[in-house]
Structure 1
Amino acid sequence: MFQAIMQGILLSFGLILPLGVQNVFVFNQGVTQPRFIRALPVIITASLCDTALISLAILGVSVIILAIPTIKAILFLVGILFLAYMGFVTWKSKASRSTTQDAALSPKRQITFAASVSLLNPHAILDTIGVIGTSSISYSGMEKIAFALACILVSWIWFFSLALVGRQVGRLDKSGRFIMFLNKVSSIIMWGTAVYLITQLI
């Protein structure tokens, strides 16, 4: 049981740690929202999406879906178009301190964008299936449940912590320059991910 929990924590942390589209978006909202509680929609949505992906990977459902070439191709195309669009919008967004309220998305847009960057990123989905889904095969019964819960718990703690750190950074950024820099970095990461997905699709 202990081995399953530790492996779940280490694998999940290893997957979620790299600077990707989802992490940047959650951190960005932590920075731009006027209060931490206003960032809860993005935190909860990202966590729930990860919970769903991890559960599907462990149950083996996602492997069956992605085994169908047409569905996989559609997922990649939608992901590429969405990331390209999000990168453009983020690059163009104003980020001066006087426009922080504009940069802070409404709860509805937070939920929509968080779900999109979580579920329309084939790279992240394939990583979850390949690492967590494959590793879960060696467990059964309560050990498999413990493994799944450990992976899911890491996601929830990570997104709450990420937004909280973003909030602290946002409070220190009086000029708004960091937000502007973060938007540019976010855009480059999104476009880079889109290009990577194109190479995988080809």
Structure 2
Amino acid sequence: MQAFFHGFILAFGLILPLGVQNIFVFSQGVTQPNIYKALPATLAAALCDTLLIVLAILGVSMLVLQFEWIRLTLLIVGILFLCYMGKVIWNAGASNFENNRALSLKEQVLFAISVSLLNPHALLDTVGVIGTSALKYKGFDQTLFTVACISVSWIWFFGLMITGSSMKKLQISGKVFLLFNKLSALFIWGTAIYLAISLI
């Protein structure tokens, strides 16, 4: 079970920090009228993570690490995306929480896909860390490692959705959620700056 526990702990450590994916899934738990309405965002985020993990372990990570221009392209696109997402979260916070605007099913899915597949942290963590760590395992051990990483994503995103929905039921002041959005936007911009510095 060493491979399973390695994958579980590694994936948990990577998904734990505050990021665009986590913020979005949590916010849907808060803004949707009930927990079931937040399922599209949660499922889309978990499925995208599953796709990235499987592709990384199948060998895409080696391709990206071999060609520097691919890594640079991912970073540049990701930095621009993070700057844009920070702006969206900073400006849209008031309308989402004060007016209780809930995204439609289509909007949830598209947004979740974009924050999952265009997020440089998610891509580089999956490719550079999970993909390369999986190389030490073969056969059934590698399968256990993969299952552990995927399980963490599903458990984490459903946990965020349930937590967001539970906090809404507690009738916490909207100002708390607005502050959370502002801090989240600052964190995302900080991440973009950190990635930009790494390019220099």
Answer whether TM exceeds 0.5 for this pair: yes
1:163 aligns with 2:172: no
Using the TM superposition, name which of 156-165 and 182-191 deviates more: 182-191
The TM-score, its normalising length taken from structure 1, stands at 0.90
Change (3 A) 1:96 1:13: closer
1:192–1:178 distance in 2 versus 1, CA, 3 Å = same
The answer to whether the Cα contact below 8 Å between 1:76 and 1:121 also exists between their aligned partners in 2 is: no
Q: Distance in 2 between matches of 1:17 and 1:148?
A: 18
Q: How many angstroms apart in 2 are the aligned matches of 1:76 and 1:115?
A: 18
Instruction: Please show how residues 79-158 of structure 1 align to structure 2 within 5 Å.
Output: 79-93=78-92, 94-95=94-95, 98-100=98-100, 102=101, 104-158=102-156
Inter-partner Cα distance in structure 2 for 1:173 and 1:95? 17
Matched-pair contact (CA < 8 Å) for 2:79–2:120: no
TM-score by length of 2: 0.91
How many Å separate the matches in 2 of 1:106 and 1:125? Answer: 26
Q: 1:188 to 1:173 in 2, by over 3 A?
A: farther
Contact 1:62 1:129 in 2 (8 A): yes
Q: Taking every aligned residue pair, what percent have the same amino acid on both sides?
A: 55
Match of 2:59 in 1: 60
CA contact (8 A) 2:97 2:178 kept: no
Task: Give the SS at the match of 2:99.
Answer: helix
Alignment partners' CA distance in 2, 1:14 and 1:91: 26
Letter matched to residue 166 of structure 1: G
Code of the residue aligned with 2:99 in structure 1: it is: T
**Superposition deviation, residue 112 in structure 1:** 1.7
The answer for unaligned runs of 5 or more in structure 1 is none
Pairwise CA distance, 1:32 = 1.3
Structure 1 runs of 4+ off > 3 angstroms? 95-98
**For the Cα contact (< 8 Å) 1:96–1:179, is it kept in 2?**
no
Moved more, 157-166 or 54-63: 54-63
For the residues of structure 1 that align with 2:180 and 2:39, how far apart are their CA atoms? 20
RMSD: 1.8
Partner of 1:29: 28
Q: 1: CA distance between counterparts of 2:71 and 2:98?
A: 43
Q: Whole-Å Cα distance in 1 between the matches of residues 146 and 57 of structure 2?
A: 7
